[in-house]
Structure 1
Amino acid sequence: MKQGSSWFLAAALLCTLLAGCSEKMPHLSATEGGVDAISPEEDTVMRCRVVAVDGENQLLLADVDGDHPDIYTLDASSVPLYRKETEGGTLLADGQLSAGAMIRVAFSGGIMETYPAQFGEVTGITFLPDEFDDRCGLYLRVLGDLWEKDEGLNHTAEYISVDLTATSLTPAERSAVAWSFARSHQAQPMELSYEQLCQEGYISGLDEEDAFPAWEDGILFTIAENDDPEGEAEPPLGQNKGKDTVSFHADKWRSALGAYGLSQCVAVQNDDGLWGEYTVNGGAWIS
């Protein structure tokens, strides 16, 4: 009886240990887009847009589901990437993510309060191929083109304000685009409109008799989408018309006599979610 009792206790102890271990093991969970990802049960999961990629896997992310414009940086070089190839979807090579990708980030350990914020311990990334959209990348290209035009306006700009409130980007995507663009030119990022800049005292010359408004140490960039497309744009050769068309105008402003803009711009999104080169149907203007 003693021998049988000892065997029973040993078996019970072994079952208890196995049960305890199973609670810490990762499990398979279905995610959007039909992608199966492995992530620990206790992880927090956040859905983010990849706005920019610096180097191979240094990601700038925008939280697309939150109520606040939260942006994050993430070194994804050593993070497991889960993916599933789908017909017509965007493929990833060697775990590399591109701007425009929608991902789910599984992490534990909370969020570090930096700006942009950082995840505690990232345990996995899931790519959602059906939600790829690089509109942020399109507008970063537009901002880059504006920067290279009439470059004298950029001189000594310590602040760059990027106003994207009249676009369809989420608040976090707008913040990420503004941060990425300003930092690429070693300037302090802001997201104020012209009216807000005036109200907060950044614009000089407003109260003078011969008013000559100017932002002495900053430059304002604005992109605004139009409700109705203006002009025609064709998709890349071999592509159907695609998912969407966007019409917008864009400009940069330093003073009442120092501004440059592009009017009646049109871009077409192709079948895999990429926005092609935009056309400027209304031409450029300068003041």
Structure 2
Amino acid sequence: MRKSLLVLALALLLAGCSAAPAGETLTPPTLAPGDSPAPEPVDAVLVDQAPWFATFRVVAGAETGNLVLAANGGSAGEVYTLSTEGLSLDRPVENGELINVYYEIVLETYPAQFGGVTAVEHTRTERDDRCGLYLQVLEDLWEVDPGLNTDLEELGVDFSGLTDLTESEKSALAWVFGNTHGLMPITGTLEEIWQAGYLTPMTEPAEGQEDSVSLYRWENGCLFVLTGSAEDGFDAEKWTSGIGAYMFVDCTVRQNADGTWSYTVGAEAIS
């Protein structure tokens, strides 16, 4: 019942070389309730045949030049940061773009960082900033009924129901959202968070009643959930208990000419 829940953490796969032997899966560290993430060591890993390059989606940070990147088509945890200061660019980088980064080493932090960056180039692909769309939705949801997420100590995210982002984009989205609010996001469904022991009971089950998550609350945390897609519409919810939740329902989306997205909430619900 109180087994550790996987927390968004390092699962770095180096572009152009293996991060683990063939067939081996890298496992992120786990945190039990009340634990704090230990500082990650900063080790430089020389990339074979450096300078190497890999392709990344710009998830956030283009407006400041401190980019948050998701490995293109990557798996969970493949999140990087890159400062464009001092780099020669033919035009500014934009959120939602796919870019190629040429580099010599990777610093094994979380998110990972590059060393010896020699070039950043734009790819011949159309900009698609749906990560920016979902970040806006999360911030809008944060602002409504703020009592549900005031003075949080723990922040949960569940993007498993989003069907139009890669796993690395979901990881980057979670990290940006958590970092904005000064918290390391805990990833998992409501059921997983309950089973991991983050929730406390509001009431004991009545005789003959089965114990369930509906009897619990997240006393010092809040879970943010996104489901659906930009093409088919999506729902968004924040949850602290069965009687403490706020939802954006039947949201519809349209893509703008510049690759950004706008959305309209079909209905809002509260419990």
Q: TM-score, normalised by structure 1?
A: 0.70
Percent identity, aligned pairs only, is 40
Relative contact order, CA 8 A, sep 6+: which one is greater?
Answer: 2
Offset at residue 170 of structure 1 (A): 0.7
2:144 corresponds to = 149
1:204 aligns with 2:174: no
Alignment of 1:1-287 (within 5 A): 42-53=50-61, 56-82=64-90, 95-108=91-104, 110-167=105-162, 168-205=164-201, 208-209=204-205, 212-225=215-228, 245-275=231-261, 277-281=262-266, 283-287=267-271
Offset at residue 258 of structure 1 (A): 0.8
- Distance in 1, matches of 2:123 and 2:144, equals 36
Match of 1:69, SS?
coil
Going from structure 1 to structure 2, the CA distance change for 1:159 and 1:132 (only over 3 Å counts) comes to same
One-letter code aligned to 1:258 = G
Question: What's the CA shift string for 1:37-76, capped at 9, x where partnerless?
Answer: xxxx742111101111165211011112334431011111
Task: Give the conservation status (yes or no) of the 8 Å contact 1:46–1:104.
Answer: yes
Offset at residue 111 of structure 1 (A): 0.9
- Distance in 2, matches of 1:54 and 1:79, equals 13
- Distance in 1, matches of 2:111 and 2:76, equals 13
- Distance in 2, matches of 1:156 and 1:123, equals 42
One-letter code aligned to 1:250 = A
- The gaps in structure 1 that reach 5 residues or longer are 1-40, 83-94, 227-243
Question: What's the CA shift string for 1:133-190, capped at 9, x where partnerless?
Answer: 1000000000000000000001221121221111111111111111111111112212
One-letter code aligned to 2:115 = G
One-letter code aligned to 2:263 = Y
Question: What's the CA shift string for 1:65-93, capped at 9, x where partnerless?
Answer: 334431011111112225xxxxxxxxxxx
Deviates more, 1:168-177 or 1:47-56: 47-56
Task: Give the conservation status (yes or no) of the 8 Å contact 1:80–1:123.
Answer: no
Task: Give the conservation status (yes or no) of the 8 Å contact 1:224–1:249.
Answer: yes
Greater share of helix: 1
Task: Give the conservation status (yes or no) of the 8 Å contact 2:60–2:176.
Answer: yes
Q: TM-score, normalised by structure 2?
A: 0.74
One-letter code aligned to 1:192 = G
Offset at residue 203 of structure 1 (A): 1.5
Task: Give the conservation status (yes or no) of the 8 Å contact 2:233–2:250.
Answer: yes
Task: Give the conservation status (yes or no) of the 8 Å contact 2:56–2:101.
Answer: yes
Offset at residue 200 of structure 1 (A): 0.8
Going from structure 1 to structure 2, the CA distance change for 1:246 and 1:273 (only over 3 Å counts) comes to farther
Task: Give the conservation status (yes or no) of the 8 Å contact 1:161–1:178.
Answer: no
- Distance in 1, matches of 2:258 and 2:101, equals 22
- The gaps in structure 2 that reach 5 residues or longer are 1-48, 207-213
Task: Give the conservation status (yes or no) of the 8 Å contact 1:52–1:180.
Answer: yes
Going from structure 1 to structure 2, the CA distance change for 1:68 and 1:153 (only over 3 Å counts) comes to closer
One-letter code aligned to 2:152 = A
- Distance in 2, matches of 1:54 and 1:116, equals 16
Structure 1 vs Structure 2 CA RMSD? 2.0
Deviates more, 1:51-60 or 1:135-144: 51-60
Going from structure 1 to structure 2, the CA distance change for 1:124 and 1:246 (only over 3 Å counts) comes to farther
Task: Give the conservation status (yes or no) of the 8 Å contact 1:56–1:77.
Answer: no
- Distance in 1, matches of 2:178 and 2:75, equals 23
Structure having the higher Rg: 1
